[in-house]
Structure 1
Amino acid sequence: MTENSIQSVPDTSTTAPIGLLTGKVVFITGASRGIGSAAARLFAREGAAVVLAARSAAALETVVHQVRAAGGVADAVPLDLADPESIRAAVRRVDELHGRLDGAFNNGATIQHPGPLDTTSDEDIDAQFAVNFRGHWVAMTAEAALMRRTGAGAIVNTSSIGSRRANPALPAYGAMKRALNSITETAAVTWASDRIRVNGITPGGTATEMIDAWEAATPGIIEQVNASIPLGRMAEPEEVAEVAAWLLSDRAAMVTGAMIPVDGGAGA
């Protein structure tokens, strides 16, 4: 980020909570860093008991400690989004811990090696399918099965601005995120009679470890992304998490099948 854009970033970590998710049990994938860890802290401040899932056990425990130290309720479960049985086991663990599931934020993802379509490897394509598409499909179906027992629920999937337009630098990533948009909308219609709402968010450039990895592979990409955003800067992870919190809350009771941009106007 540029110096000017850093100065303009609001401090969302001190936003006064309003009990948006009071009494809810929320499962978060990709919770060890970036948007996922910001969501863990935010959702807990808003009253949710959070169950955090990711591959990195040590990083997860750090987030759990932060939530508990602030007075929240949090537990960690191991999760490999490339392994369907690992996903189902994580959701079963939510059931063991709380006996219910009110909300799920399917935020975990993997990035491909940046490069044009004709140099994207078979391994990159397979990884993108396994994590960014099939992993969400399996997670949603397991989450919905648990939500039906209590008669309602809400699911939010993290897609990407790259799903809404051509994505020459990340073609496999963009393709699988676009497919995720489709199953998000399909799930919303399919499960509406179960009172399960399903929505997605499409963040643009966000100041996370993932964008840092992209910068390392393609120097100058952060400056390029900042320049493409009408608001003049990338989002902070907390700002993206705020939108997910609202979609998971009862305030969004009539919202389902929506893909909400969180991109500072970059997709307009």
Structure 2
Amino acid sequence: MELKNFSLEGKIALVTGASYGIGFAIACGMAKCGATICFNDIKQELVDKGIAAYKEAGIEAHGYVCDVTDEDAVNALVATIEKEVGVIDILVNNAGIIKRIPMCEMTAAQFRQVIDVDLNAPFIVSKAVIPSMIKKGHGKIINICSMMSELGRETVSAYAAAKGGLKMLTKNICSEYGEYNIQCNGIGPGYIETPQTAPLRERQPDGSRHPFDQFIVSKTPAARWGTTEDLVGPAVFLASDASDFVNGHILYVDGGILAYIGKQPQ
């Protein structure tokens, strides 16, 4: 029996919105396993910063300006990548936004914007890459979901609705295209240490933890925040031949939060 391995040698990966943060970490991990990295961002300035960051990490990435909510622009992006680099083997739908606004204060336009970026865009980009994956006889799609694919929380009605929808889109892509040897799975990150969450982890003047930091650590069996590196192994697994019979699954990388009811108040 031949052991299926985790190598991505010769594979071409498109990671959306991967100039920095979670997308950047996942793309770097895939590159270290042999993949050629393509990424996009919404502005040239962000793409340039991303290319510089990849170069610093010793990775020659291909960067493109593209708004993933614009179907014509996405189709043009995929056609350009196929012409310049090759057919996309791995798609990571990473680009996303969050607006933390109480539901009754949120406008319908703000709600629609979050749904557009976090749910409609993964539909648009997946639809653009699937035909060539079918022709090639294989493909991997990884949707960056969230614990909010399962749980609600104050001020994130649009984000939770979008990420819940993305979970079901993941299952549906599996259902429609599994027979073509296309695997579509999701990763649901827990609370991850990023520059955006740094203020929530700063020590207070008296040396104590920030209240939100205390809350997250107390809710996490691992008793810590995750790092972007914690997401790399799961992403490489779902992108590799090792996961060829894993389909329609959401892999929560959350230190155990979703398994845990929390400590009893003292």
Q: Which has the larger radius of gyration?
A: 2
Shift in Å, 1:111: 0.8
Alpha-carbon shift at residue 168 of structure 1 (Å)? 2.5
Paired residue type of 1:103: I
Q: Which residue of 2 aligns with 1:242?
A: 233
1:82 to 1:178, Cα distance in 2 relative to 1, 3 A? same
Distance 1:46 1:209, change over 3 A: same
Pair 1:64-2:51 in alignment: yes
- Among 40, 45, 48, the alignment partner of 2:27 is 40
Counterpart CA distance in 2 for 1:124 and 1:215 is 28
Q: List gaps (5 residues or longer) in structure 1.
A: 1-17
For residue 150 of structure 1, report the CA deviation from its aligned partner.
1.2
Instruction: Note if 1:129 corresponds to 2:115.
Output: yes
Contact 2:118–2:166 (CA under 8 A) maintained in structure 1: yes
Q: Which moved more, 1:124-133 or 1:142-151?
A: 142-151
CA distance, structure 1, for counterparts of residue 212 and residue 69 of structure 2:
28
**By how many angstroms is 1:193 displaced?**
1.3
Q: Deviations over 1:129-163 (max 9, x none)?
A: 11011001011111112212211110000010011
- Does residue 1:26 correspond to 2:17, yes or no? no
Q: How far did 1:70 drift?
A: 4.8
Is the contact between residue 87 and residue 135 of structure 1 (CA under 8 Å) also seen in structure 2?
A: no
How much does 1:214 deviate? Answer: 8.0
Number of the residue aligned with 1:96: 83
Q: Give the TM-score normalised by the residue count of structure 1.
A: 0.85
Q: Percent identity?
A: 26
Distance 1:66 1:210 in 2: 18
CA root-mean-square deviation: 2.2
1:1-268 → structure 2 map (5 Å cutoff): 20-68=7-55, 70-112=57-99, 114-212=100-198, 220-268=211-259
Instruction: Please give the alpha-carbon distance, in whole angstroms, between the structure 2 residues aligned to 1:93 and 1:205.
Output: 35
Q: Distance in 2 between matches of 1:86 and 1:225?
A: 39
Bigger shift: 201-210 or 243-252?
A: 201-210
Q: Distance in 2 between the 1:35 and 1:63 partners?
A: 12
* Partners of 1:95 and 1:146 within 8 A in 2: no
Distance in 2 between residues matched to 1:180 and 1:38, nearest whole Å: 21
1:213 is displaced (CA, Å) by 8.1
Instruction: Return the alpha-carbon distance in structure 2 between the equivalents of residues 129 and 194 of structure 1.
Output: 28
Q: Which range is displaced more, 81-90 or 128-137?
A: 81-90
Q: CA deviation at 1:231?
A: 0.7
Q: Give the superposition deviation at 1:61.
A: 2.9
In 1, are the aligned partners of 2:6 and 2:237 still within 8 Å (CA)? no
The separation in 2 between residues aligned to 1:213 and 1:40, in whole angstroms, is 25
Deviation at 1:211, TM superposition (A): 3.2
The residue identity in structure 2 corresponding to 1:250 is D
For each residue in 1:163-210, what CA deviation from the matched residue of structure 2 results, as whole angstroms up to 9, or x when unmatched? Answer: 102222311100110001001100001001111110001111111244
